[in-house]
Structure 1
Amino acid sequence: MIRGLYEAHLPVKNLEASIEFYQRLGLKFAWRDDETAFFWMEEGKSWLGIWEGKEHETPYHPSLRHIAFQVTYDDLKRSLQWLESIQVQAVPFGRRDSAAPFIRPHQGNASVYFNDPDGNSLELMCAVEVPDDLRHLTNKMSFEEWEVLLAKHKTKSN
């Protein structure tokens, strides 16, 4: 029955500033009215709505005010340079000190985080192929640590 996510919404303080920000991310503008604007994440498949209003004052929580955009593994490896090129700063996730992209072996994914102008949490995320015997690893790993571990694992498996 469910085939994917059609839309998600975020609150913003200033619609004009937020429209400019999301266009810098490369999202295609779909439409707007006085208080809302929509951008295609995948044209004809899914979009993001931003809504101007006092709701932007709602304290952040991952269940509120968070969106993860799907990217490729190679794009995620280059994400810090890309974010810098559009004047957006990556931020550390949780208790991490580094804002660099990281791998979650037990979840089979990788991420980098940044915020929009209103403090909404945005994430670039991709799936990562993880050998079954490494799925127990719950520590977050840098791409470098992950790739060294995978190389050792492949050598050991052969």
Structure 2
Amino acid sequence: MIKGLYEGHLPVSDLDRSIRFYENLGLEFACRGEGRAFLWIEKGKSWLGLWDCEQVKIPYHVSIRHVAFQIDLADMEKAKEWLKEKGIEVVDFYDFEPARQPLVLPHYPQAHAAIYFEDPDGNLLEFIAPVELDVEKYFDMMKLDDWYTERGNPGKNQD
């Protein structure tokens, strides 16, 4: 029955500024109403709702004010530079400083590569790419380059 995630929502303090920020990430403006706007993540498949509201003052927690955008693993290696070109800084995540990202998350039984950054209101955003399904053992969070080396592929992703 469920086929995927259609929408996510974030609180913002300045709707115009937030629309520009997310368009800069490549999302396509869909529509706007009183105190809210929607941008396509993947047109006709998923979108992000932005709400100009007081909840933007709620301190960040991963269970709220967080969205992860899936990208291809091949794009992960250039994502940090792509964000920098757009004036967006990679942020510290669980003491994994920006210099060590992209990182590989130990979400047993699947491994994901990820980079973390914030929107203008401090909502935590993530680029995430599946690396390996059915990982056979638990592992510690590590740099993506270390993941490749540990698996006998000292170079970057070959896809």
Length-normalised TM-score, structure 1: 0.89
Deviation for aligned residue 1:131? 6.9
Residue number in structure 2 paired with 1:129: 132
Q: Identify which range, 18-27 or 99-108, moves more after superposition.
A: 99-108
Q: CA 1:66 to 1:34, structure 2 compared with 1: closer, same or farther past 3 Å?
A: same
Q: Please state how far the C-alpha of 1:130 moved relative to its aligned partner.
A: 5.4
Counterparts of residues 39-58 of structure 1 (less than 5 Å): 39-58=39-58
Shift of 1:73: 0.6
Question: What residue in structure 2 maps to residue 16 of structure 1?
Answer: 16
- Partner residue of 1:82? 82
Deviation of residue 140 (structure 1)?
A: 1.0
Match of 2:60 in 1: 60
What are the ranges of 5 or more consecutive residues in structure 1 without an aligned counterpart? 153-158
Distance 2:139 2:84 in 1: 29
Work out the CA distance in 2 between the residues paired with 1:50 and 1:138.
36
Higher helix share: 1
CA distance in structure 2 between the aligned counterparts of 1:44 and 1:86, rounded to whole angstroms: 26
- Percent identical: 43
The equivalent residue for 1:7 is 7
- Distance in 2 (CA, whole Å) between partners of 1:98 and 1:22 is 21
Task: Map Cα deviations across residues 86-129 of structure 1 (whole Å, 9 max, x no partner).
Answer: 11001121122335111124332111000000000000001112
Is the alpha carbon distance of 1:98 and 1:89 closer, same or farther for their aligned partners in structure 2, counting shifts above 3 Å?
closer
CA distance in 1, matches of 2:81, 2:103: 15
Partners of 2:24 and 2:85 in 1: CA distance: 10
Q: Distance in 1 between matches of 2:138 and 2:149?
A: 14
Kindly report which structure 2 residues correspond to 1:131-150, keeping only aligned pairs within 5 A, or say none: 132=135, 135-150=136-151
- Indicate the RMSD between aligned Cα atoms, in angstroms: 1.7
Q: Name the SS for the 1:23 alignment partner.
A: helix
TM normalised by structure 2 equals: 0.89
Q: How many matched pairs?
A: 151
8 Å contact kept, 2:91–2:116: yes
